[in-house]
Chains A and B, each alone.
Chain A
Amino acid sequence: MLDVKNLHAGIDGKEILHGLDLHVGTGEVHAIMGPNGSGKSTLANVLAGRPRFEVTAGTVTFEGKDLLSMAPEDRAREGLFLAMQYPVEIPGVNNIYFLKAALNAIRKNRGEEELDAMEFLQLAREKMKLVDLDESFMNRGVNEGFSGGEKKRNEIFQMAVLDPKLAVLDETDSGLDIDALKIVANGVNTLRSEKHSVLVITHYQRLLKYLVPDYVHVLADGRIVKSGGKELAEELERRGYEWIEQEVAAAR
């Protein structure tokens, strides 16, 4: 599904990722954990193609295609979804209109027929229940006046509607109370299947209690320094990140 090789990337001339390697297989759920400043969000933004982030070396292959040469919209159409850390408010762009346009652009790319307004509404209603969002949200501006938790749930709602092959969750758990956390985890778990992959980027282990990963990687100083199973997350929760940093320092 996703192959990241020797990725060097940064922002404003400052390199943050110093040769990152990552392989996410089809149907797998991977968690990337790491302390602040380790490069977690840079990875998410580089994968989604956010302007200003620069790749200086390395390759990213998504479903056999060169991801880095694609515009952000083409990455989305190929099946990549980034649940953003800070979803932006866009007053004046209607939530439902926006999402319908997005879904139909993706469907068109897949060679599927576009959904009409009624079909889309039916799908949207069904997925909204999944994340416990009120229907009134649909007719507001994108994220306009949403609380922090509502914005995150809206990200997961969009993910559920767009049905991506690979969902990247960039600190979706930050700022969520336990109920919202369960809702988000439940939304992602519903997407899980042998055809869908998930990359969860997080600082804390608590989301991973409800969204259990197959693999856990520790990101430190722009590289994956340790990989393991779900028990690695628990260990990190218990022991913090310092021992990893010490291990890395000792290995140098």
Chain B
Amino acid sequence: MTTAVQSDLREQAAQRFAQLGWPTPELEEWKFTNLAPIERIEWRADDGAARASQKTGVVSLRGQALAELVFSNGRFVDAAGAAPGLEILPISQAASHPMFDRHYARYADYQRHALTALNTANAQDGAFIVVRDGATLDGFIHLLFIGAGDAIWSHPRNLIVVGRGAQVAVVETFYGDGNYFTNAVTEIVAGESSVVDHYRIERESIDAFHVGTVQIHQERASHVTSRHIALGGGLVRNEVNVALAGEGANLTLDGLFVLADSQHIDNHTVIDHVKPHCDSLELYKGILDDKSRGIFDGLIIVRPDAQKTNSRQVNRNLLLSETAIIDSKPTLEIQNDDVKCSHGSTIGQLDEEAMFYLRARGISESEARSLLIYAFASEIVDRMKIDAVKENIRAAMFRRIPKGLPERRSATR
């Protein structure tokens, strides 16, 4: 990435990060998450050969995806597939594309967000996707980011521009092995009347750090579904910021976070209703075991001009141990009075009656637990439209939750 605009931008972003510094829990937006463990490490970029590429087989969807790009520690290693109406290339080769300067770094705000500044300053590569006006892609695009090694950081940077009336499905998968740090930023521009189905599957190594920012800009009458599955990583922060910037835009924002051991996953979402007649439907579900800690911090802003807004925000959590912690903070900020908005959150445990019912039919305690945990998650998983992704998540979820509730002795006797 070498244009003059680009290097200026990098420099500005680097300066901005130097000013902002690492976010600390003193900031309201970071009150639940402390990045000090990341800050302490001397990170370096992977400048060598793509050592992680041999691991891609496990999570690659080549053959099932229309197109797949693979990155290792933030560096481009492989591309496959093509489709009419679709341009897909490593973003490092996209600087001369006419769409690039118009959109790149125009949505994810590095002035306000330190980690976005850090990404903008250090981005090595990522995917640049343009779906032409009116193109309907029959299938999905897969972006695979593999992390590996210790004390290596990467700053994947993606830009997805979906043309007027176009339709596309994009899956981002983050996967790896080691004590690395991924700081990814994805900008999505959903053009007028476009339909976008976006999946972000975070399955990082349990020793890894992950900060993800997804910035979605929706134009008039666009329909976006963005699904955020977080299963991996030791310390994770996932930010989703959506601007409903055109009349009649429609957003479905789904989240599922499944934690065990001492994982920490912070989900931070902002849905900004800028224009009238927009709908947003947000559902985040958390499953927490052991000593894990999960956060749902969701803000919905309804601007003065955004009359006839229809918005619902729900966070539901399932606690599987006495020591897991969930902080749930759904927030509405409504600046006009012609709206229909609701929000709420629940925290519960596995239903004992349901457990007994299943066991009384001969199903083992551990399987009954798995069934009920899966049942809780199924609301999110079942409505995914890509079977390959669905199956992967089901399998990965059961690997992450091997135990469920602590063994309870039968009360009779």
Q: List chain A positions with a Cβ less than 8 A from chain B.
A: 9, 46, 48-55, 68-73, 75-77, 81-82, 84, 87-88, 90-93, 98-99, 101-103, 105-106, 109, 141-142, 158, 162
From the candidates B354, B371, B375, name the one contacting A88 in the complex (CB within 8 A).
B354
Closest to A69 in B: B413
CB neighbours (8 Å) of A84 from chain B are: 357, 360
0/1 string, B350-372, CB within 8 A of A gives 1: 01111011111111110110011
Q: Decide if A71 touches B359 in the complex (CB within 8 Å).
A: yes
Please, how many angstroms separate the alpha-carbon atoms of A51 and B359 in the complex? Answer: 11
Given contacts A54-B411, A76-B359, A93-B358, 18 further A-B contacts (CB under 8 A): A49-B359, A69-B413, A72-B360, A73-B362, A75-B360, A76-B362, A81-B361, A84-B360, A87-B357, A88-B351, A88-B353, A90-B357, A93-B371, A93-B372, A98-B358, A98-B371, A102-B363, A158-B361
CB neighbours (8 Å) of B363 from chain A are: 73, 98, 101-102, 105
Known contacts: A88-B353, A158-B361. The answer to whether A72 contacts B413 by CB under 8 A is no
With an 8 Å Cβ cutoff, the count of chain B residues facing the other chain is 28
CB neighbours (8 Å) of B412 from chain A are: 9, 46, 49-50, 53-55, 68
Q: How far is the CB of B295 from chain A (nearest CB, A)?
A: 24
Please, how many angstroms separate the alpha-carbon atoms of A162 and B358 in the complex? Answer: 13
Q: Decide if A142 touches B378 in the complex (CB within 8 Å).
A: no
Q: Is B31 an interface residue (CB 8 A)?
A: no
Q: Is B379 an interface residue (CB 8 A)?
A: yes
Q: Decide if B364 touches A105 in the complex (CB within 8 Å).
A: yes
Closest to A71 in B: B410
Q: How far is the CB of A100 from chain B (nearest CB, A)?
A: 10
Please, how many angstroms separate the alpha-carbon atoms of A87 and B408 in the complex? Answer: 22
Q: Decide if B362 touches A141 in the complex (CB within 8 Å).
A: no
CB neighbours (8 Å) of B398 from chain A are: none
Q: Is B32 an interface residue (CB 8 A)?
A: no
Closest to B374 in A: A92
Q: Is B100 an interface residue (CB 8 A)?
A: no
CB neighbours (8 Å) of A53 from chain B are: 411-412
Closest to A161 in B: B361
Report the 6 A-B pairs with minimum CB-CB distance, sorted nearest first.
Answer: A92-B375, A76-B362, A102-B361, A72-B359, A105-B362, A92-B378
Please, how many angstroms separate the alpha-carbon atoms of A102 and B375 in the complex? Answer: 16
List which B343-397 residues lie within 8 A (CB) of chain A.
Answer: 351-354, 356-365, 367-368, 371-372, 374-376, 378-379
From the candidates A70, A91, A162, name the one contacting B361 in the complex (CB within 8 A).
A162
Q: How far is the CB of A131 from chain B (nearest CB, A)?
A: 16
Q: Decide if A142 touches B357 in the complex (CB within 8 Å).
A: yes
